[in-house]
Chains A and B, each alone.
Chain A
Amino acid sequence: MQKVYSKIESIVGNVITVRANGVSNSDLAIVTSPNSQSYANVIKLDGDLVSLQVFSGAQGISTGDQVRFLGVPMRVSYSENLLGRVFDGTGTPRDKGPALSENMIDIGGPAVNPAKRIIPRNMIRTGIPMIDVFNTLVESQKLPIFSVSGEPYNELLARIAMQAEVDLIVLGGMGLKYDDYLFFKDTLENSGAMSRTIMFVHTASDPTVECMLVPDLALAVAERFALDGKKVLVLLTDMTNFADSMKEMAITMDQVPSNRGYPGDLYSSLASRYEKAVDFEGAGSLTILAVTTMPGDDVTHPVPDNTGYITEGQYYLKGGRIEPFGSLSRLKQQVNKDTRDDHRALMDGMIKLYASYRESLEKKSMGFMMTEWDDKLLKYGRLFESKLMDLSVNIALEQALDLGWEILSECFEPNETGLKSDLILSRWPKKSAD
């Protein structure tokens, strides 16, 4: 039944065309060269002319190579055996473990019915005060980390992978530097978090097409685990590389570019991935944190811009810290009312004071006289930055809140904080009798 075609009509970029019959859209095929073999999938049908994108790239493919259609779309194995494993963008093992082929599931499945969605209600504790206290991550949320290249975004993700209170981490790496891949692997292994992690990694030297498959693979697997009752956190890095590989493919396919070369369906393509984030009533949930590097620190660049319209807020990573001002978790209101009575008030109060600190800092740098109040603010800002904002801080939300009160009491008199009196009465640290 599986017919082999051995006449490749054209090879452009990573796309080959063959004449074949009875082929379905999105079907998988195997392209066999004398020394190598690669998967490919159908992206266009025009009469008997079938266009395929070759996962490992079309380099070295000859017009005489054989193409065999498998009659099934791209799939990935799903079982508990995935835990602790590392795969590449086609689902082939990257570690030395065995290839998995049982219980294959389709990737890029249908969307969740909006009528079945529920209002998010559980926070995800990460142990990072800038997230837990100030911009709480919520189950089923989709949040990008907007960052300039050079910022420690992968360190942040690794930290979250180690600390987040979830059942399962699925890490999708796109266009990762090999060093970064090793960094993730080593960090997770050393911390013992690897046993609850599944990695799909495409490194910068791997073929472009595989980069486009990584989010789909990661999300398909994560979705199944969520349906089976697991609380899953998907970490993706870096979505800009994903968008760039989409751009590359679109241009190869002669599509009319819309904005800075990106295809017109950039928004829909990003959205169909991000919208996989969901809280299944009566089962688990899927949460997405995705790094989006902003070329030239420009948030109006098509990739961060489209992302911002899709996601529920964003974290800005600047100067090695999660910036408190631009960052926003749109869903935090759903959960931070039930954590502790002082959470919201302290969050607002501390940010307002931090904003004043920034003003004082500016005044100082311009050489103005510093008042007593300015000095207090400067002290506060320094403490805030070192004790709460530093990415290496790992404390529970309650501890972080207590620490917040401590910092305030170290710098200010109670009435200078603008916080409500009854909160101050109950939470203001008592001066130790020395």
Chain B
Amino acid sequence: MANTSGRVIGVNGNMVSVQFDSAISKNEVGYIRVGDVRLKGEVIRINKDVASLQVFEMTNGVSVGDLVEFTHEMLSVELGPGLLQQIYDGLQNPLPELASQCGFFLQRGVYLDPIPNQDWEFTPVVKVGDVVRPADTLGTVPEGLFTHQIMVPFTLAETDWKVVSINAQGTYNVRDTIAVLEDLKGNKRELTMVFTWPVKKAISCYEERLRPDETLVTKIRIIDTFLPVAKGGTYCTPGPFGAGKTVLQHMTSRNADVDIVIIAACGERAGEVVEVLKEFPELTDPKTGRSLMERTIIICNTSSMPVASREASVYTAVTMAEYYRQMGLNVLLLADSTSRWAQAMREMSGRLEEIPGEEAFPAYLESRIAEFYERAGKVRLKDGRIGSVTIGGTVSPAGGNFEEPVTQATLKVVGAFHGLSRERSDARKYPAIDPLGSWSKYTGVIPGKKVEFARSILFRGSEINQMMKVVGEEGTSVNDYITYQKGELVDACYLQQNSFDPIDSSVSIERQRYTFTLLFKILSGIYDLEDKKQVRSFFNTVRQKFLDWNNIEYKSERFFQIETELENLYKGKMTSFDPDAEKLM
């Protein structure tokens, strides 16, 4: 195939205008030759014979007249065994290999093979003569904890392909031919364990999409009980700087009950990624007992790395997530932060001189965000297995104000909203998710009615607190004061969680149910307390006990001891249960 080429005719920041000679397509990749380096770029606009390329590298040194080679391929990632444990940049360049080749700095124009060149123990599952379709399994290789399925590339035409040859069980290099397929017209295709897929297209080789109805356990009480996330669902975490977005995501990535976690560090601090890079290999996955890194892929395009590849990085990440979903696995994608991704779009839109929308974001901001989050989902594959991609994105709203376009566009498409508040983080109430403003449309692990009751106490408690600020404690009735204290109790003993305490940092579902039952009883009680001093001292004692309880190993001797003490404590002052709440017990 004759390669299309072109010449640079203009440079504006990382946007380069190229005059080309024959056919090119939108979103195809072109390389600009500058001296002896080739700079990767993506066609984002074509106007007559001029294409606009967004270049994924710094463009200093590019001159008018420089040669551009087009590849006829859309921006793609390589998929195959060996993705796990890798650390990639936004264009799937492996960063550790890059470091061993180029040293401290990221040299531009160096593109390495994303999939490590290694051997795998291949076991075929089809035989010669079998008929297969895209996404069908040809064989398997063991990849760490998982049986990695070598599938018919999704890029092949959706027709019947006959297996002409398939390698016998044995050890093969990842790029060795392992099978040959033939379609009805006799076209032959040689396949290796690796194939590519364009990142901006969702992988849709499944039977049907299902409703996300299974809770994704994060072991964070406020999330699992009050603001649950579902496998195959989406959620967003907006918050001002310093409110603990990244800490919360790291906590989730460690504890989430999924098979694979993909972390897309998109335009944030490099230091935070380094913490993950250095910590994860040391930490063990409680589920498997192996290193956490074995179930993790990190896509890392930090704030000082080129802006255009930041835009690509979230797509790179979600494509890998979809790939593993095709093997019937549950994948969690954590994107930090989607605002930086949106800003990358804004920068490009500005260079293209498009008419700006709100705060200069492009008019297609909302549809792009929706498109991205819609790539999450729980699906039934053709062989009946279930897989899912869950997407959690942080948002960094300017000035901490949620009324800005990115937060608003995100809220429209996600299933749960965990808004972080500066007020709570200032008061060191972590995780700083605002329990009143946040919401979730998914079902949690504790019956909804009970949660509703606890939440209503929180609401009422906060109202009373507001009122007390005006009329003072003196002007508040004892009953109201009790409700206020109950609200504070929920907050202190259940919503807040100490991420540094070895026990409290991750709370199993079983334990959440257990402690919530007791908390619920305490909240439902009607108490015989005479004045506010008594109320305060009673709730202080309960709170202290409850906090101690949280830090004790589940179902240990001491655990039951404190439980009994708590039971006796509240029953000593209680006259009866609230009749509404009692019905729920």
Residues of B within 8 A of A257 (CB): 360
| CB <8 Å contact, A305 and B63 | no
Assess the A264–B346 pair: CB atoms within 8 A: yes
Given A25-B11, A45-B63, output 4 extra A-B contacts at Cβ < 8 Å.
A263-B350, A267-B267, A305-B398, A331-B271
Interface string of B40-81 (1 = CB under 8 A from A): 000000000000000000111111110000000000000000
In the complex, the answer to whether B104 meets A113 with C-beta atoms within 8 Å is yes
Instruction: Tell me the chain B residues, 349-373 only, with Cβ under 8 Å from chain A.
Output: 350, 353, 356, 359-361
Chain A residues with Cβ under 8 A from B105's Cβ?
109-113
Task: Evaluate whether A264 and B270 lie within 8 angstroms (CB atoms) in the complex, with A110-B106, A116-B99 already known.
Answer: no
Interface string of A287-304 (1 = CB under 8 A from B): 000000000000011100
Answer yes or no: B534 CB below 8 A from chain A CBs. Answer: no
Contact assessment for B400 and A111 in the assembled complex, using a CB-CB cutoff below 8 Å: no
A271, closest chain B residue (CB): B303
- Tell me which residues across on chain A come within 8 A of B359, comparing CB atoms: 258-259
Q: Assess whether B396 is in contact with A112, with CB atoms less than 8 Å apart.
A: no
Instruction: Report Cα–Cα, A22/B275, bound state, in Å.
Output: 45
Stretch from A30-38, A92-100, A306-314 forming part of the interface with B: A306-314
Listed in ascending order, the chain A residues whose CB lies under 8 Å from chain B are 21-27, 44-48, 73, 108-120, 140, 227, 255-259, 263-265, 267-268, 271-272, 274-276, 280, 300-302, 305-306, 308-310, 312-313, 328, 331
Residue from A47, A120, A264 having most chain B Cβ neighbours under 10 A: A264
Chain A residues near B344: list those with CB within 8 A. Answer: 268
Smallest Cβ-Cβ distance to B98: which chain A residue: A113
B95 at the interface (CB under 8 A from A): yes
**Given A268-B303, A328-B242, are A114 and B95 neighbors across the interface (CB < 8 Å)?**
yes
Cβ of B555 under 8 Å from chain A? no
Q: Known contacts being A119-B275, A264-B360, A300-B398, is A113 close to B10, with CB within 8 Å?
A: no
For A73, the chain B residues whose CB sits under 8 A away are 60-61
B147 adjacent to chain A (CB < 8 Å): no
B102 interface residue per 8 A CB criterion: yes
Do A309 and B347 form a contact, CB below 8 Å, given A23-B64, A110-B107, A111-B304?
Answer: no
- Residues 206-245 of B contacting A (Cβ, < 8 Å): 240-242
User: Interface majority SS on B: helix, strand, loop or mixed?
Assistant: mixed
Interface size (B, Cβ < 8 Å)?
A: 62
Question: Which of the listed residues B17, B104, B347, B350 has the most CB atoms from chain A within 10 Å of its own CB?
Answer: B104
A377 to B33, CA, bound (A): 69
17 pairs, CB–CB < 8 Å, chain A vs chain B: A26-B59, A44-B10, A44-B11, A45-B64, A48-B64, A110-B108, A111-B302, A256-B350, A256-B356, A259-B360, A264-B346, A267-B343, A268-B344, A275-B302, A300-B400, A308-B241, A309-B396
Total number of residue pairs linking A and B with CB closer than 8 Å: 168
Report whether B64 and A114 are in contact in the complex, using a CB–CB cutoff of 8 Å.
no
Assess whether A227 is in contact with B104, with CB atoms less than 8 Å apart: yes
The answer to whether B302 touches A264, judged by C-beta atoms less than 8 angstroms apart, is no
Least CB distance from A136 to B in Å reads 15
Contact A45 B11 (CB under 8 A): yes
CB distance from B509 to the nearest CB of A (A): 30
Q: Which residues of A contact B347 (CB under 8 A)?
A: 264-265, 268
Alpha-carbon distance A422/B95, docked complex (angstroms): 47
C-alpha gap A289/B62 in the complex (Å):
34
B340 touches A310 (CB 8 A): no
Q: Is B156 an interface position by the 8 A CB rule? A: no
**Residues on the B chain within 8 Å of A112, using CB:** 104-106, 270, 304
Inter-subunit contact A46/B61 (CB<8 Å): no
- B106 lies within 8 A of A111 (CB): yes
In chain B, what residue has the closest Cβ to A305?
A: B399
Which chain A residues lie closer than 8 Å to B59 at the CB level?
A: 25-26
How many Å lie between the Cα of A22 and that of B7 in the bound state? 13
